[in-house]
Chains A and B, each alone.
Chain A
Amino acid sequence: MEILNDPNRMLLILLPIFILQLVLLVVALIDLSKREETNGPKWVWLLVIFFINILGPIVYFLWGRTKR
């Protein structure tokens, strides 16, 4: 795995994924902060969004929000 020793290529691989994940996380957090009621306790969703990679925010978007 010669790529692992090359920091520039490593950055090329990890940076896009990292940015996408960050956007997903931030958008989910903004949505959570604006919402008055969630499907279940709010602090649980905060933990889910924050600590479960990728899947956490997606699960929040699908099931975390109360129907308006």
Chain B
Amino acid sequence: MRMAIFKHEWREAWSNKRLIWIPIALMLLAAMQPVTLYFLPDILASGGNFPDGSVIEIPTPTPEEVLVAVSEQLRQIGLLVVLLSAMHTFSQERTNGTLAWLKSLHIPATRIVISKWGHYALLTLGGLVLAQASAAYYTMILFDAFDVGDFFISTLLLSLHFVVQLSIFFLVAALLESGVVAVVVTLGLHFIMSILIGWIDLDWMPWRLGPLSGEVLIGDIEPLWPILTSLLVMGIALTLASKKLQFLSKT
């Protein structure tokens, strides 16, 4: 009974096809980066209007640089895809009365929030692991071998980064009427914080995890504080979302 909503989410994800399309979309996104970087000189040569005989020299990126590019790609477009797919999570169930119905059954809000969040977190995690695997495959065959340990840590940091952003999104979605606005708020905050962190020394912020997932491939990092604050933000976001979940649509 406790797991009923969680299980229902997976059944719905299957009939909704998001169980299939989200991982595939992330995998393609990750695979495209090494492939484009590899063929970039050819693409430029055939597409650009260079005079005959001009020599284009682009230094071949190292495998680590390619994987950093993959991490950036996933953090920008991948996060957008994941959040957009989760967009209707609370707003739709509020409009069609599902949330009110669940409340009338005396199902605690915490269970509703955790079930849905857990489903999306696991789905994202699975998708990211597959995406990183496809990026690793292409980096291996097109470029060179790389440090598997660093890559593993990079994947972990990236996954945590996604789960934290999902938690923030779930909090905003629980409070606001519109799912679209919730996505915009989450991504806007993500964007602003990413810029701020570049300007001022805010290395302990949760939003630092994303960049760290790239930097770990190239050098040494200090991830302790960002990880701790991330877990804290995650906990606060989920607790608040459970407490403040709006069951009824205002309109």
- Name B5-42 residues within 8 Å CB distance of A: 17-18, 20-21, 24-25, 27-28, 31-32, 35, 39, 41-42
| A67-B28 Cα distance, complex, nearest whole Å | 26
| Distance in Å: Cβ of B140 to nearest Cβ of chain A | 10
Report yes or no: A17 in contact with B21, Cβ–Cβ below 8 A: no
| A52-B61 Cα distance, complex, nearest whole Å | 29
Residues of B within 8 A of A47 (CB): none
- Name A4-46 residues within 8 Å CB distance of B: 4, 9, 12-13, 16-17, 20-21, 23-24, 27-28, 31
Q: Is the interface of B mostly helix, strand, loop or mixed?
A: helix
Size band of the interface chain B makes with A: 20 to 34
User: Which of B80-88, B152-160, B216-224, B238-246 lies at the interface with chain A?
Assistant: B80-88
Report yes or no: A61 in contact with B17, Cβ–Cβ below 8 A: yes
Q: Is the interface of A mostly helix, strand, loop or mixed?
A: helix
Chain A's closest residue to B18 (CB) is: A61
Q: Which of B27, B41, B96, B141 contacts A12 (CB 8 A)?
A: B141
| A1-B43 Cα distance, complex, nearest whole Å | 12
Cβ-based interface call for B120 (8 A): no
| A67-B18 Cα distance, complex, nearest whole Å | 14
Cβ-based interface call for B137 (8 A): yes
